[in-house]
Structure 1
Amino acid sequence: MLLILVFIAFSSMISCSESSDCPTKTCGDFSTQAQAQATYDSNRSCYKNLDADGDGKACESLK
């Protein structure tokens, strides 16, 4: 029983980026860098793949 409680507690601590609750988005889903940036800024842990080099700017190849 204790093991089950520990598992439930650990599962609730998993961040969005490791959860299926994060929608899958790539730079190809956006028309502009500003759109990608707004999405990235809304939840950086979920959309960290939009910032390939980790500098805080999403989809820098978009204009």
Structure 2
Amino acid sequence: MNSRIKYTGIFLAILLLGLIISCSESSDSGETTSNAGGSGSNCPTKTCGDFSSRAAAQATYDSNKSCYKNLDSDSDGIACENLK
């Protein structure tokens, strides 16, 4: 009888641990921001208006081209061409 209680406790502990891990992973993936990087991504929203120079926008774009692809409207690799 004592071993049955012991195994039930172990089973419940493993089940609880799995539930905690599952909830933790789902809350991480559900934390998104809406932006041009697409829904479901964790990219911060940045536009050319957020930068005072093209060099600053280019540095941000170069740091993660898929995340900040909206800074390069014509996809030529140059961010915010309208800035000086």
Q: State the TM-score, normalizing by the size of structure 1.
A: 0.71
RMSD: 1.7
Counterpart-to-counterpart distance in 1, 2:60 and 2:44: 11
Partner of 2:66: helix, strand, or coil? coil
The percentage of counterpart residues that share the same residue type is 73
- The residue correspondences of 1:1-63 to structure 2 (distance < 5 A) are 17-18=37-38, 19-63=40-84
Q: Structure 1: 5+ residue runs without aligned partners?
A: 1-7, 12-16
Higher relative contact order (CA 8 A, sep 6+): 1
- Paired AA for residue 52 in structure 1: S
CA positional deviation for 1:20: 3.4
For residues 6-33 of structure 1, the C-alpha deviation after alignment (integer angstroms, 9 at most, x for no partner) is: xx9xx8xxxxx33331000000000000
